Amino acid sequence: DGGITQSPKYLFRKEGQNVTLSCEQNLNHDAMYWYRQDPGQGLRLIYYSQIVNDFQKGDIAEGYSGSREKKESFPLTVTSAQKNPTAFYLCASSIAGGPGSEAFFGQGTRLTVV
C-alpha cells in the first residue's frame, strides 16, 4: 500500500532531551512537510522540502531541525530549545509544491514532554 508512515504513534520525552520523529513515504513525492497541531490553532508549518537535499524553514521552525537526504525520508528533530514541544505532529507529502497540489498526510505522532 502506498502512503506515509510516521513513527512512533506516541512518544514521551523528558525535558532537556532531543527526540527525532520519523516520516517515510513510498508515493514517490518530491515535496514533504512537517506540521504541528495544537488544540484550536489548526496546523502550523514547521519545515518543508521541495526536493531531496532541500530543507526550508516554515512559520514556526525555532527549536526544530531536520534533513532531507533521501527522497522517501523526512525526519524531524525536536530539540531541547523548543520551549513547548508537547503537540501532535503531522508529516505530509505532495507530488510537487505547485498550486492545487493535494497533500497526503501520515497518521501523526503525539509527543508529550514529561
Q: Which is nearer to another protein, 43 or 80 (CB)?
A: 43
Under the criterion CB under 8 A, does residue 40 sit at the interface with another protein?
Answer: yes
Give the interface segment with another protein, choosing from 11-19, 34-42, 64-72, 76-84 (CB under 8 A). Answer: 34-42
Under the criterion CB under 8 A, does residue 112 sit at the interface with another protein?
Answer: no
- Residue 53 gets the label, from left (phi > 0), alpha (psi -120 to 50) or beta, of left
* Residue 77 beta carbon to another protein: minimum distance, rounded to whole angstroms: 21
Cα dist from 113 to 3, 88, 93, whole Å: 28, 12, 27
Burial group, residue 91, by CB count within 10 angstroms (0-12, 13-18, 19+): buried
Q: Which is nearer to another protein, 16 or 98 (CB)?
A: 98
Under the criterion CB under 8 A, does residue 50 sit at the interface with another protein?
Answer: yes
Position among 2, 42, 84, 114 found at the interface with another protein (CB under 8 A): 42
Contact 62, 82 (CB under 8 A): yes
One-letter amino acid at 68 equals R
Under the criterion CB under 8 A, does residue 15 sit at the interface with another protein?
Answer: no
Cα dist from 28 to 32, 35, 75, whole Å: 11, 20, 16
Q: Which residues sit at the interface with another protein, rule CB under 8 A?
A: 4, 6, 31, 33, 35, 40-45, 48, 50, 58, 88, 90, 92, 94, 97-108, 110
